[in-house]
Amino acid sequence: MEFDKKTYKQEFENALLEGSIRTSDQQFKIKLFLRKAENSLLIANHVKDIKPAKGQPEKLYWNYWAITISYYAMLYAAKAAILTKGYETKNHTAAQTALGHLLVPNQIQKEDLLLLQQAHKIFEDEYVKYFEDARKEAHTARYTAIKTYTEKRLEEIHNNAQKFVAKIALFIQE
């Protein structure tokens, strides 16, 4: 699906009204969520690379959890970034909505950041797509009994999570 800034704005406003997104002044949580994201990535990397020994669950089951942990690393990073804008989210969909609305700049904002040589602050819509993709895959990994993952797909999700968390860390440092 094509990224639509107007749709994210409308969904954000709806989420504010229903309470799944709310204002917050709890800035101290930013670093806590970011640390949680970075450490979750390390754990996901460990789980992803496990070579099961005899008597342990087969690799497929470790992959389910590696995907889920990679996604949660992204969720924690997203929560940190959203807090920098003065908001908190109550669920996964609200986090994606807030990312799309609060962090992805419109064309004028993007041009201004480029002029100011602050391209590192540009949160491209592809990062929202990484989040959405990982959210869906983690849901599938947790709640279905038939999905299998190739090593390539697992690597893709994990690599996207690493890029996502690194981008958020860079974004927050300013």
pLDDT at 142 over 90: no
Q: Give the separation between CA 166 and CA 151, rounded to whole angstroms.
A: 22
What is the average pLDDT value for the chain, to the nearest integer? 86
Q: Give the pLDDT score at 115.
A: 46
Strand partners, 89: 21
Give the type of residue at 25: D
Can you name the CATH fold of 5-173?
A: Four Helix Bundle (Hemerythrin (Met), subunit A) (1.20.120)
Q: Which residue has the tokens 């958020």?
A: 168
* Residue 170 pLDDT class (50, 70, 90 cuts): confident
Overall pTM > 0.85? yes
- What does the domain layout of the chain look like in residue ranges? 5-173
Lowest-confidence pick of 19-33, 42-56, 102-116: 102-116
pLDDT at 86 over 90: yes
Lowest-confidence pick of 53-57, 63-67, 138-142, 165-169: 138-142
pLDDT at 8 over 60: yes
* Residue 1 pLDDT class (50, 70, 90 cuts): very low
Q: Give the pLDDT score at 114.
A: 47
pLDDT at 171 over 90: no
Going from the C-alpha of 69 to that of each of 11, 38, 113, 160, the distances in angstroms are: 26, 11, 32, 13
